[in-house]
Amino acid sequence: MISKTCGYAIRAIVLLNEHPGEKLGVVQIAEQLGIPQHFLSKVLKDLAKHQLISSVKGPHGGYFSNQTTPNASLIDIIHVIDGLGVLNKCFLGKDRCSQTNPCPLHNEFEKSRQYLFEVFRNRTISQLNLSDAHNLI
């Protein structure tokens, strides 16, 4: 449902939240999470751009959690990385699936879609630990 990139973002933000006050570099985060460094760099920049985490450039810089990080919901991260459209896609892969042009299972899946939105909206970073994040993705 969510992309591998979004999974990486969730794992990275959970890691940063577990190290409050510490600045972690891209290499350090990538090694600890087993994520390709180049891929992770873009993800972290996007998270920082949307103020879900913070960053400082320079030799003593890095990425770190800020006041927003613990209360960020999974839907906030999905919105930044994948966009919310990913949760609205047809479960059967139909290009045009909606109330006015439904796939054969549209109505049945609508309840599941609403449930997923609620789960992602209500689950915050502070409620997860790195072990949880690895199991999510």
Residue given tokens 């990538």 in the structure block: 30
Q: Which two tokens stand for residue 135?
A: 């199991």
Instruction: Give the pLDDT score at 136.
Output: 59
Instruction: Give the pLDDT score at 88.
Output: 78
Q: Supply angle C-alpha 108, 82, 97, rounded to 5.
A: 30
Instruction: Give the pLDDT score at 135.
Output: 63
Which residues have a Cβ under 8 Å from the Cβ of 17 and sit 6 or more positions away? 65, 69, 70, 125, 126
Specify the CATH number for 4-133; select among 2.30.30.60, 1.10.10.10, 1.20.58.1290, 3.30.1280.10.
1.10.10.10
Q: How far is CA 120 from CA 46, 104, 127, 131, in A?
A: 19, 26, 12, 17
Query: What is the reported pTM?
Result: 0.87
- Residue 70 per-residue DSSP state: G
Which regions of the chain are under pLDDT 50?
A: none
Instruction: Give the pLDDT score at 87.
Output: 79
Instruction: Give the pLDDT score at 13.
Output: 97
